[in-house]
Amino acid sequence: MNSAPQPAPVPARVDVSLSQGVTIEWEGGHTSRYPIRALREACPCATCNDLHGTGEPPTTKLAPGVLPMYQPTGATLTSVNPVGRYALHFVFSDGHSTGIYTWEYLRQLCPCDACKAATR
């Protein structure tokens, strides 16, 4: 059986709090709230991706000291910028700024209970 490809997720609204995180209301009515720490731990950049191994949302959290630029507590966002119409770029207060978070990746990362249950 061939299943039709799923359409790419599209945000209807993005709210940013540099001290709290990001909230995305997706077309279709779902809302995802991403704390800063969760975004930092799920960074998809090449350096962090080597640690995660697959390019998929990580199943384990980064250990302190694994990456010299990673600090598990106290990180905030210094800026959030759009990347074209397909992603967000986060600059973290720990100096890390190389990850590009596509809408698809962010939708996969949704930490709500319903999304977690759907991926099990």
Domain ranges of the chain: 11-110
- 33 versus 70: the higher-pLDDT residue is 33
Question: What average pLDDT does the structure give for the chain?
Answer: 83
Closest CA relative to residue 16, chosen from 118, 105, 101: 101
- Write down the pLDDT at residue 74: 72
pLDDT tens-digit profile of 32-44?
Answer: 999 999 999 899 9
Closest CA relative to residue 107, chosen from 8, 17, 12: 8
CB 107 within 8 A of CB 26: yes
Average pLDDT rounded to a whole number, residues 46-60? 62
pLDDT tens-digit profile of 1-23?
Answer: 555 667 789 999 999 999 999 99
Tell me how far apart the alpha carbons of residues 108 and 95 are, in angstroms, rounded to a whole number: 25
| Domain boundaries 11-110, corresponding CATH code | 3.30.2020.30
- Write down the pLDDT at residue 49: 75
pLDDT tens-digit profile of 74-97?
Answer: 789 999 999 999 999 999 998 899
